[in-house]
């Protein structure tokens, strides 16, 4: 497989309640930078702590994983499934308010920031990292693209990481669970100069 960075979509999930703050800041900050801002947290708090204080990205000077803005290579990720089940402390069914912010690997690389490719969940001790674009071809794309990922959760949760900050202008699309949330997003974007396409994407959700 010979994948090109401009072909590979990357997805960041967040609650729509965080979107006004993202727009006000002009983009996404890393978890380390956001720790004092008290956003609506949708993932596991203890894993975020581990990413911020324990796990390091060796190919990027040993910086902590939490110093990077994380993306998956697929929508409808295992993490979204876990969140929607209520396992992270939010109510069961909370995926309805979660949006997918979509960009490409090429955009991430083009920001001239440190970046890395993980071969699995970057919040797990077993993950390895590379800053070589050829590492994209070594990912388990069958698992990443699978709708039934039992036994391959780690591989499906491979990540693309961008150091510190990812600008709003780097996103070209926003995927939503339903028309109500899509309208919320569209209303927020009406005052913005950069307006990614907004669409209801039922196939991106459980």
Kindly report which listed range (37-41, 78-82, 158-162, 171-175) carries the lowest average pLDDT score. 37-41
Q: Is 183 left (phi over 0), alpha (psi -120 to 50) or beta?
A: alpha
d(CA 24, CA 142): 37
What is the per-residue DSSP string for 60-93? GTTEEGGGEEEEESSSS-HHHHHHHTTTTSSPTT
Under DSSP, the state recorded for 18 is G
Q: Give yes or no for residue 2 having a pLDDT over 70.
A: yes
Under DSSP, the state recorded for 139 is S
* pLDDT for the residue numbered 140: 95
What is the rounded average pLDDT of the residues 64-69? 95
Tokens 């070589």 belong to 132
Q: Is residue 68 within 8 Å of residue 161, measured between CB atoms?
A: yes
Please, which residues bridge with residue 102 across strands?
A: 11, 173
49 is catalytic: no
* pLDDT for the residue numbered 110: 98
d(CA 61, CA 197): 36
d(CA 126, CA 121): 8
The model's confidence at residue 206, banded by pLDDT at 50, 70 and 90, is very high
Cα torsion for 43, 38, 30, 19, to the nearest 10°? 80
159 is catalytic: yes
Q: Is residue 35 within 8 Å of residue 52, measured between CB atoms?
A: yes
Q: Is residue 87 within 8 Å of residue 150, measured between CB atoms?
A: no
What is the rounded average pLDDT of the residues 43-50? 62
d(CA 142, CA 136): 13
What is the rounded average pLDDT of the residues 168-186? 98
Q: Give yes or no for residue 43 having a pLDDT over 60.
A: no
The residue annotated as part of the active site, out of 63, 67, 76, 159, is 159
Supply the mean pLDDT for the chain: 92
The model's pTM: 0.92
d(CA 161, CA 65): 8
The residue annotated as part of the active site, out of 37, 51, 54, 134, is 51
What is the rounded average pLDDT of the residues 161-181? 98
């Amino acid at each position: 497989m010979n994948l090109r960075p401009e072909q590979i979509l990357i997805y960041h999930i967040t609650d729509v309640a965080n979107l006004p703050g993202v727009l006000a800041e002009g983009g996404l900050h890393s978890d380390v930078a956001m720790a004092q801002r008290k956003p609506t947290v949708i993932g596991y708090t203890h894993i975020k702590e581990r990413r911020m204080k324990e796990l390091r990205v060796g190919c990027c000077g040993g910086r902590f994983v939490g110093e990077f803005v994380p993306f998956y290579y697929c929508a409808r990720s295992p993490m979204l499934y876990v969140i929607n089940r209520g396992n992270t402390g939010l109510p069961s069914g909370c995926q309805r308010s979660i949006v997918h912010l979509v960009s490409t690997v090429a955009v991430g690389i083009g920001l001239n920031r440190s970046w890395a490719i993980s071969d699995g969940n970057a919040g797990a001790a077993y993950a390895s990292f590379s800053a070589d674009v050829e590492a994209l071809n070594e990912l388990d794309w069958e698992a990443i693209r699978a709708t039934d990922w039992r036994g391959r959760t780690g591989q499906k949760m491979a990540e693309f990481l961008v150091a510190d900050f990812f600008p709003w202008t780097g996103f070209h699309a926003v995927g939503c669970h339903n028309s109500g949330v899509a309208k919320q997003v569209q209303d927020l974007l009406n005052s913005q100069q950069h307006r990614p396409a907004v669409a209801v994407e039922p196939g991106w959700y459980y």
